[in-house]
Structure 1
């Protein structure tokens, strides 16, 4: 039997999300997979009602606990291992691992370490500067014709594998 991740040591970090509804959807997806800590970087206020509409009342506790911080450095400062995510492939952005490969590593690391799963803005994703802060970078295999996933879909896929 493989080692199970210690989900209480795993957090979702959303770097400059654009839409309150997406934060709500992320809260729901994360809670479905047993992850209840979300850190939002670069924004201090989002429409709570819109977040609740997407999260359902059963994930309201996750919304209540969201930590809002000003900078990515502040967001990532308490974590010992950072997993970045990207749909854009390029020489300066890799090497990349699949969600499943990352999950195998995260399961062991999460036993005694705080892990951040870092997701970028909906419109641009993470820039190279943010990816350089990561210990590993995950890319989710998709059709080459359409590589963009909704933020909550990407969170759900990675959390499911973990």
Structure 2
């Protein structure tokens, strides 16, 4: 099994012990691409190395990013982990379901498993950068999991799924990268503001829903170009309308 196209992304991890433990779990299951977003802890500290055991090379090879958007720029699918439920967060996947969604897509592009801070998880703006959500069904008596344990559980399900589906083929389209999608959302946001479709005081209220719709659809680059064409046509019509005024 080759997991080169699967990235583990930790957003502002706070504990070196957790980072080291994540590296150990990654090596246990055969993953190698670790991305750290603005880490609060030193991932090269003695504590992190001690927990990583023989996976210190993953610590040393970890890439540091200033924000989540930069970390996901080359990813076609980002799966964000969360326990926060709300009207902008629907169609949650359990880890085994997420693994099956990721499998065919990782054959042709990069897939990221995104994990939030140990205390506050992922912020709404960060979840907006993820196309699908993972939630781990835990007991209400203690619903939150340790970061390293959550990563281990998700990686186990991915590895198990890969074993089950090996050789059965994918055939899925190559999805647009996070950078390409964010360019689309910026264009859409400005266009919908210009035609007064969005409330300028709270434009994200509606945009959250569009992100979820397009996230579930899984857009490829051709589909993104078509949508850009739609927004550009609306831009032109709006400029002509303003001229006639």
TM-score using structure 2 length: 0.61
Residue 26 of structure 1, CA deviation: 0.6
Q: Which runs of 5+ in 1 are unaligned?
A: none
Q: How does 1:114-153 map to 2 (within 5 A)?
A: 114-153=110-149
Give the equivalent residue in structure 1 for 2:56.
60
**Structure with max Cα Rg:** 2
2:58 partner SS: helix
Q: Which runs of 5+ in 2 are unaligned?
A: 159-245
Q: Which has the higher contact order (CA 8 A, sep 6+)?
A: 1
Cα gap change, 1:45 to 1:146, in 2 (>3 Å): closer
Counterpart of 1:81 (choices 69, 77, 80) is 77
Counterpart of 2:86 (choices 84, 90, 98) is 90
Per-residue CA deviation, residues 34-76 of structure 1 (Å, 9 max, x unaligned), is: 11111000138605211111110x1011111100111111111
Cα gap change, 1:39 to 1:77, in 2 (>3 Å): same
Counterpart of 1:7 (choices 3, 12, 20) is 3
Structure that is richer in helix per residue? 2
State the aligned residue count.
157
Cα gap change, 1:17 to 1:44, in 2 (>3 Å): closer
1:92 partner SS: coil
Using the TM superposition, name which of 119-128 and 93-102 deviates more. 93-102
Cα gap change, 1:42 to 1:50, in 2 (>3 Å): same
2:15/2:40 contact within 8 Å kept: no
RMSD between aligned residues: 1.4
Per-residue CA deviation, residues 53-101 of structure 1 (Å, 9 max, x unaligned), is: 1110x10111111001111111111111101001222333322111111
